[in-house]
Chains A and B, each alone.
Chain A
Amino acid sequence: GQQVQQSPASLVLQEGENAELQCNFSSTATQLQWFYQSPGGSLVSLLSNPSGTKHTGRLTSTTVTKERRSSLHISSSQTTDSGTYLCAIGRNSNNRIFFGDGTQLVVKP
């Protein structure tokens, strides 16, 4: 079954609004990463946050390991934030990670 569930599946915002993306996972995770995938397909790591709260720029991730959930908050969204946000978990030391199906974000000017 699906190990990583993301919500919402899609989100449309006006520029300047904040976004809250959710990731729930069905098994314990020692690794959790948020990735961004541009409309052209290139995938880049945004944050690695297996537990607690982490900030980088306008992004804040909070992971509650015991509850098997993580969130990604994007403040003051910009049109260039449009794309797909993917959550991925890892369970042990072999580097294998499992992706959710992503949240497609559209930020309108």
Chain B
Amino acid sequence: EAGVTQSPRYAVLQEGQAVSFWCDPISGHDTLYWYQQPRDQGPQLLVYFRDEAVIDNSQLPSDRFSAVRPKGTNSTLKIQSAKQGDTATYLCASSPRLGAQDTQYFGPGTRLLVL
């Protein structure tokens, strides 16, 4: 069974540029999460979905960040106008069923550096 895949693995931007991250969860998992992990900190949840519906996006900086999962499978996280403070690793995870307290399975992450 293939794991969670993410692309790109690395991105380097100038401030003000836009970037998109892509995630393909494990097949059949209905719940998908995006986390931001600054250096030397634990992952912090940005947004999560059940199928195509957003369950909680309260931690997403909505003026510059957006996330979609249009068909309930793959997902895209976009930063419109990146800032140096966005430098972090962006992790995607999936779990089989919302509400079942299943383990989350993580992808390898995208490491973003904003200059």
Contacts and interface: CB of A to CB of B under 8 A. Distances in A.
Give the most central of A42, A86, A93: most B CB within 10 Å. A42
Contact of A100 (B42, B91, B98): B42
Interface stretch (A43-51, A52-60, A63-71, A75-83): A43-51
- B interface, size bucket: 20 to 34
Provide the main secondary structure of the chain A interface. Answer: strand
- A interface, size bucket: 20 to 34
Nearest to B31: A95
A86 B108 CA distance: 16
B103 interface: yes
A39 to B, nearest CB: 12
Contacts of A22: none
Given A86-B42, A99-B42, A41 B109 contact: yes
B99 A101 contact: no
A69 to B, nearest CB: 17
A102 B103 contact: no
B111 A41 contact: yes
B101 A95 contact: yes
A40 B110 CA distance: 11
Contact of A41 (B31, B101, B108): B108
Interface stretch (B14-22, B43-51, B63-71, B72-80): B43-51
A98 B40 CA distance: 15
A74 B14 CA distance: 42
Contact of A40 (B44, B55, B102, B108): B108
B104 interface: yes
10 contacts: A33-B103, A41-B109, A43-B91, A45-B103, A94-B98, A95-B48, A95-B101, A96-B48, A99-B43, A99-B44
